[in-house]
Amino acid sequence: MKDQKKKNTKKNTNRNIYFIIILIYFIFVFYAYIFGIPSGIEIGNNLISFLSYMIKILPCAFILIGLFEVWVPREKVERHLGYEGGFRGYIWGIILAGTMGGGLLVALPVSSALYHKGARLSVIFTFLGASAIVRIPMTLFEASFLGFEFTAIRWLVSIPLIVLTSIFLEKYLVKQNFSIK
Amino acid sequence: MWFFYVTGILLFLSFLSDRSKTKKALLIAYQRFIFISPSFLVMLIFVSILLFIFPQEKIIMYLNYGKYMVNIILAALVGSVTIMPGFVAFPLAGILKNSGISYTIIAAFTTTLMMVGTLTFPIEAAYFGKKVTLIRNAVSFVIALIVALLIGIYFGEVII
């Protein structure tokens, strides 16, 4: 009970800090636009370009997550990505990561959704790590600029390391009652 | 753009087969979005300021001078604190390659860029907690360094 209360106040201070940062920032950028301060305008333009890029991707990503939660039965996730999945779970995790768009910012809410549907932690960490390194469109881009060999070595080295560290991380966290929000 | 169409088609199919389920899906989507949006906005604010202070294209150019091992670590650090979409990062990497920067340094930069997220820390921590986020990113940093070194060995830049 006390713990819960402590957690809530902590969460609130976090929210307040965020709120203050956001407020100061927007006041600054607002003044910059009015008085024509070049640095502030450039910062504001940076934000606008990011926001417009994100707004194209994020709503779709969250809608897909919502559809996933409603339509995909828990048993299916457990069978392929859970403890019953065995080693193939990691391969599924990597394939899922490779074919998904949007990078970490999409992969994070997806991992949370997978977790609540019964995927095991090591598969989730593999998925998360893989989403950073094996995304197919990005990889094609990389190979075209840096050469096929460069990409091949990167895959061959990083994928086994990610699976391995994910397994260790799970072993460590299972003892600690860890859960994903 | 295909992402947009796929979402639209799936949403439409879902709506045709079960209205209440689709409504629930949209509600879930909304709640999840609200949960993460403050951290998200703060991250974008930091990125917008950081990109103004350090234009990355310039920083990485300087990485070609000085001690080699130090440069690899520096490139990895720059990659860790930067956020750049792939369609910007890889053409940049191509330019760097053509201007004579070694594969090792480029690998250290692009691999940490993809794997280590300093600016996305608050978002990841919202899901996984601070400790796990820290562990995961530290591990990713080490993996990225290993990748860079092995790429260097393969291309004959790092001699054992």
Determine the average pLDDT of the residues in B142-157: 92
**Beta-carbon count within 10 A of B122 CB:** 18
Top-confidence residue, A34 or B59: A34
CA-based nearest distance A79→chain B, Å:
23
Is the ipTM, as predicted for this complex, more than 0.90? Answer: no
Note the pLDDT of residue A8.
62
Residue A66: its chain B contacts at CB < 8 A? 24-30, 32
Contact A93, A121 (CB under 8 A): no
Q: Which residues numbered 85-114 in B keep a CB inside 8 Å of some CB on A?
A: 85-87, 90-91, 93-94, 97, 103, 106-107, 110-111, 114
pLDDT in tens, A55-108: 877 888 888 888 888 888 877 877 888 888 788 899 999 988 887 767 788 899
> Does the distance separating the beta carbons of A129 and B140 come in below 8 Å?
yes
Identify the CA nearest to A142 among candidates B99, B88, B105, B31: B88
Query: Is B130 in the A-facing interface, judged by CB distances under 8 Å?
Result: no
CA separation for the pair B108, B115 (Å, rounded): 11
Note the pLDDT of residue A126.
95
- Given a cut of 80, is residue A12 above it in pLDDT? no
> Range with the lowest mean pLDDT among A37-41, B46-50, B101-105, B131-135?
B46-50
List b or e across B26-43, with b for residues whose CB sees 16 or more CB atoms inside 10 angstroms.
bebbeebbeebebbbbbb
Residue A150: its chain B contacts at CB < 8 A? 103, 107, 151
Q: CA of A58: which chain B residue's CA is closest?
A: B33
pLDDT in tens, A145-175: 888 899 999 999 999 999 999 999 999 998 8
Query: Is A176 in the B-facing interface, judged by CB distances under 8 Å?
Result: no
Residue A57: its chain B contacts at CB < 8 A? 3
Query: Cα angle at A174 between A169 and A177, to 5 degrees?
Result: 125
Query: Is B28 in the A-facing interface, judged by CB distances under 8 Å?
Result: yes
Closest CB to B38 among A15, A43, A181: A15
Domain boundaries, chain B: 1-38, 54-154
Identify the CA nearest to A72 among candidates A121, A128, A117: A117
Contact B126, B35 (CB under 8 A): yes
Residue B4: its chain A contacts at CB < 8 A? 56, 60
- Given a cut of 70, is residue B66 above it in pLDDT? no
Predicted structure pTM score: 0.79
Note the pLDDT of residue B116.
93
CA separation for the pair B7, B22 (Å, rounded): 12
CA separation for the pair A148, A140 (Å, rounded): 9
Under the banding of pLDDT at 50, 70 and 90, the label for residue B67 is confident
3-state secondary structure of B158: coil
Query: Is B121 in the A-facing interface, judged by CB distances under 8 Å?
Result: no
Q: Which of B12, B15, B45, B102 to mutate to test the interface with A (most CBs of A within 10 A)?
A: B45
